Amino acid sequence: MRLPRYSNDAVHRFVGELTARIVAESGIATDRFHMGKIILQSFKDAPDFLMQIDGGTDERETNQSALLRSVRCAMAMKAAGLKKGDVVVLVAPNHIDLAMPFYAALYLGVIVAPVDRMLGVHELRETFKVIKPSMVFCQSEKATTIQLALNKIDLNTQIVTFDKGDYLCSFKEFLDGNGSDVNVDEFRAADFDPEDTIALLVPTSGTTGVSKSAAVTHKNIAITGPYLWSRYYQFPTPTEVALIGSPLQWLTAIMNFILSPIFRYTRLQTSFTLTQKHAYYLINTYKPTFTILSPTLMTKLMKPDIRDQCDFTSLNMILLGGSVVPQTLINEIKKVAPDAEVIDTYGMTELTSIGFHGDNPPPGSCGKPVGCFQYRIINPETQEDIDEPNVPGELWVKGPGIFKEYYNNPEATAETFADGRWFKTGDTFYRDAQWNYYFVERIKLLLKYNSNQISPVELEDVIRQHPGVLDVAVTGVPDPECGELPVACVVPRPGYDVTAKDIKDLVKENLSEAKQLHGGVIFLTEIPMTASTKVHRRKLKEIAIAMTKH
């Protein structure tokens, strides 16, 4: 008999005991929030534990191996002159080597910036202008594109390639250059203030366009990370194998890269693209017990005509997040994984983890408040609190887990925080009388296509470069498999003969595959406006849905 799970403090007791040992040794009270020291100690506590598997190649690595290689990487970073506050970029698939500079940077107080490896020169240039990396780790096939982007902004950044080096330094050469006789027992992580020290720059386009990076501190992660596991009772190893369904620039992958060595569960990732077929292979072969996936990917896996090819019964916990989770999808999952808990999870980069406890909530609810946050629902018109249940408004959240700032972007930071550092999520919620919270819709413009974040503003900026475009607004039309398909609503400039192909070709020349106009191009005589002369996004979406059906 499987007992129902409820939120409890077992995970916090485990973390408290672990960090108490670290503080006792260092004598620095704030080390209980130092993610580098916590991971370092966790590796030492269980050297033989299987830490990670690349399901694409079946390569495996223990804590002992990861400890040695990450320490060697940290020492090589120090030898290269990297110091606290410098930024290293990771642009690579989820292979075995990817975590080594990730952990090494956390040891040193160096900032980790995971970047989408599908970005082109233009997009990388805009990203690098903001984060100004001192070092980039990537695959050799991406090195030329990265170098071109760096050249455009005159950044003298060292590139290290995970595979062959050619004219660049390979990862093996980078580690070997510092010698192979490293004594890990003598290595000490750097001392710094975890509350102020940025650990991660996580890309998030939000509503304002491109190249916005949420700065997440060590303390942010230390506070919020354990809540992901607050429904489990046994630590270490609350679950056996966690399947990672997203690339490293997504918070769901980041949190598992950080938490898997701490809570001692095996991280199953893949250096291959996670197609439906490959996902079936990973689940059938490695029998994961836990995963966090997007509703769009899970919809593909649940296709009735093919899902019998996969045995989902090993999974006992499935979290779904990133967009609206239909109850029909949950019902379909329960047919193939009847013993699994399937939870509609709300989280976002700026919260640095989940936003609610999924304690057996009513259908459609994201759950109840998490202990490290305060919550308000605000009337967007009056900016006053909504105190009664079942009335929607914008969700505002406050607490020590909220990200620090948008890196090198004080305007965006000021815009997203209200007085008292209340974070305005940009999402509409309501709560019921029992304090279960329900997501209604996203106020922000961000579209989700196949687990990729698409900024309508970025697309609009590119399309406006065409001389035949008088005005443009980009919206999304719903798609059961891909989430949302970007559609360009274009007002042609009088006297120009502009075609849908012209617009699509322009986007193709400037932006990556995920950001293409998969929903098409429609032509309008005018863009619908609200009374305040802003684009009427709801009406625009209705027009796009109606016109793309024909």
Which CATH number covers residue 311?
Answer: 3.40.50.12780
Among residues 336, 359, 394, the one where a domain terminates is 336
DSSP state of 240: S
Same domain assignment for residues 121 and 243: yes
Give the pTM. Answer: 0.85
Query: Rounded distance, CA 332 to CA 308, Å?
Result: 12
Structure tokens at 452: 């990729």
Q: How would DSSP label each residue in 214-237?
A: EEEEHHHHHHHGGGGGTT---SS-
The pLDDT value recorded for residue 319 is: 95
Structure tokens at 166: 């050619």
Instruction: Show the low-confidence residues of the chain (pLDDT under 50).
Output: 206-209, 531-533
Domain that includes residue 91, residue range: 10-336
Query: Rounded distance, CA 323 to CA 194, Å?
Result: 31
Whether 540 is in a domain gets the answer: yes
Among residues 299, 318, 336, the one where a domain terminates is 336
Query: Rounded distance, CA 323 to CA 483, Å?
Result: 8
Whether 351 is in a domain gets the answer: no
Same domain assignment for residues 209 and 72: yes
Whether 208 is in a domain gets the answer: yes
Count: domains in the chain? 2
Whether 405 is in a domain gets the answer: no
Q: State the amino acid at position 16 in one-letter form.
A: G
Query: Rounded distance, CA 241 to CA 60, Å?
Result: 13
The pLDDT value recorded for residue 257 is: 98
Length of the chain in residues, anyone? 550
Rg (CA), the chain: 23
Q: How would DSSP label each residue in 124-175?
A: HHHHHHHH--SEEEE-HHHHHHHHHHHHHTT---EEEESS--TTSEEHHHHH
Same domain assignment for residues 459 and 329: no
Between vectors from CA 355 to CA 349 and to CA 358, what angle results, nearest 5°?
135
Q: Which residues of 300-320 are buried (b: 16+ CB within 10 A; e: fewer)?
A: bbbeeeebeebebebbbbbbb
CATH number at residue 531: 3.30.300.30
Between vectors from CA 116 to CA 115 and to CA 122, what angle results, nearest 5°?
90
Whether 237 is in a domain gets the answer: yes
Q: Is 96 helix (H, G, I), strand (E, B) or coil?
A: coil
Helices (H) and strands (E) in the chain, counts: 16, 29
Q: Are 389 and 400 in contact (CB under 8 A)?
A: no
Q: Are 328 and 342 in contact (CB under 8 A)?
A: no
Whether 462 is in a domain gets the answer: yes
Q: Are 311 and 285 in contact (CB under 8 A)?
A: no
Among residues 336, 355, 373, the one where a domain terminates is 336
Whether 310 is in a domain gets the answer: yes
The pLDDT value recorded for residue 2 is: 63
**465-470: long-range contacts (C-beta < 8 A, 24 or more apart)?**
465/506, 465/510, 466/498, 466/502, 466/503, 466/506, 467/493, 467/496, 468/492, 468/493, 468/496, 468/497, 468/498, 468/502, 469/493, 469/498, 469/503, 470/494
pLDDT in tens, 294-318: 887 888 899 888 999 999 999 999 9
Q: Are 394 and 425 in contact (CB under 8 A)?
A: yes
- Distances in Å between the Cα of 171 and the Cα atoms of 18, 144, 229 are 32, 16, 34
Whether 22 is in a domain gets the answer: yes
